[in-house]
Chains A and B, each alone.
Chain A
């Protein structure tokens, strides 16, 4: 099958950038990234610069791949990362527009590669449980309700790809932040820091220049791991509790 791809090309952060169109011969069993591989091989054969894009595990878990395909982060398949999207989701002759994630907090590095270190800094602001290596409490000392553990796991399944930011009309990182806050707040180990964690992580999110949540739910719909916005509600509760009741706002 043959597809027309319109790809955002931008040499570096300061370059203005623009779209370029290519034709790619691919087959339905190829993954989307393998289609880009073919395009890049074509470009190399012509001694041109290949399209830069982030990718690593290619099995939907590392969160590196990040393309905005025809108006949707990670393309048209629900609950699927770009690397697991297959060309059979498209038809012969289709036109496909590929853009980088667009957000002030995710500046473009080159072509489709953006800088997502803002997410790292949000985690560094408090997305952890303060425990040093070498604790002596037995793992089974504190039983945890299965339902809560499962819910925590569902939140923790976030791969940090940034599709929520890309999908959100406000480029808000609330789904990402809430997934981590929720994961840790649901577990007894994370409870002591739950309030302060929510405040610090949200503060960092605001500082990085992400927008605010207006509950459009686009993030949930586009999340490749289908993380629910119930976590955003939990983050809100946690944040209010911290803001209005905690004695110390450090």
Chain B
């Protein structure tokens, strides 16, 4: 096992883990958004609630979601380790900070990540924790009672503070992705003049569309339903 720890423990190895976990999370976000968009289906939450039940009861999906938690943890811990190691590499700061040569998001991935982490805790508390351990009303669509997560969502997004928090967090995620998406490919060594343009375009499109898709939901609930 020593070779694994020496490869993954090196500076490039740590970055490899960031890139792979990051790309996995990108994939997860697509699935998550697809599921969540059912909130906008206009069916009073039936499809969403049934989907939520499927996601929490299917043993295969349960297994995958444990993997997802672990990947998130890896991304967070590895990221924090990198941030601290990189801070140590420059113990004395410049008096005049750099303003050119790199994008704002690339310079602030740690801060953006930390904001997202805070959001994630609140987000999990709001919905995941509530769904699993809280008292959620149930509805019955004809095949037994189903927890009405839709109602929880609707309640939460009736609160303008939550709406603002969620929308701002999506902006942070957008910026995080703006650097992270293309950066992951560079870390994996996938840098080629012929494909860089595509990766860059896909990265920008992804980091706009996905957070936008998520952000629509609280706004919709707040403005349209409330």
Contacts and interface: CB of A to CB of B under 8 A. Distances in A.
B75 to A, nearest CB: 14
Interface in B8-44: 10-16
Given A105-B89, A222-B101, A202 B95 contact: no
Contact of B14 (A70, A71, A104, A212): A212
Interface in B92-136: 92-103, 106-107, 109
Interface residues of A, number: 47
Nearest to A167: B101
Interface of A: 19, 68, 70-72, 97, 99, 102-105, 167, 169-172, 174, 202-203, 205-206, 209-218, 220-222, 229-230, 232-237, 239-240, 243-244, 249
Interface size class of B (residues with CB under 8 A): 35 or more
A209 B99 CA distance: 24
Contact of B12 (A167, A211, A212, A216): A212
Interface of B: 3, 6-7, 10-16, 82, 85-86, 88-103, 106-107, 109, 179, 182-183, 186-193
B186 A206 contact: no
Contacts of B107: 169, 216, 218
By Cβ-Cβ distance, the 8 closest A-B pairs, closest first, are A221-B101, A233-B191, A211-B89, A237-B189, A212-B11, A243-B7, A170-B86, A216-B102
B85 A236 contact: no
B102 A217 contact: yes
Contacts of B10: 202-203, 206, 239, 243
Contacts of A205: 11
Contacts of A220: 101
Contacts of B182: 215
Given A104-B88, A215-B179, A237-B189, A243 B3 contact: yes
Given A202-B12, A236-B188, A216 B89 contact: no
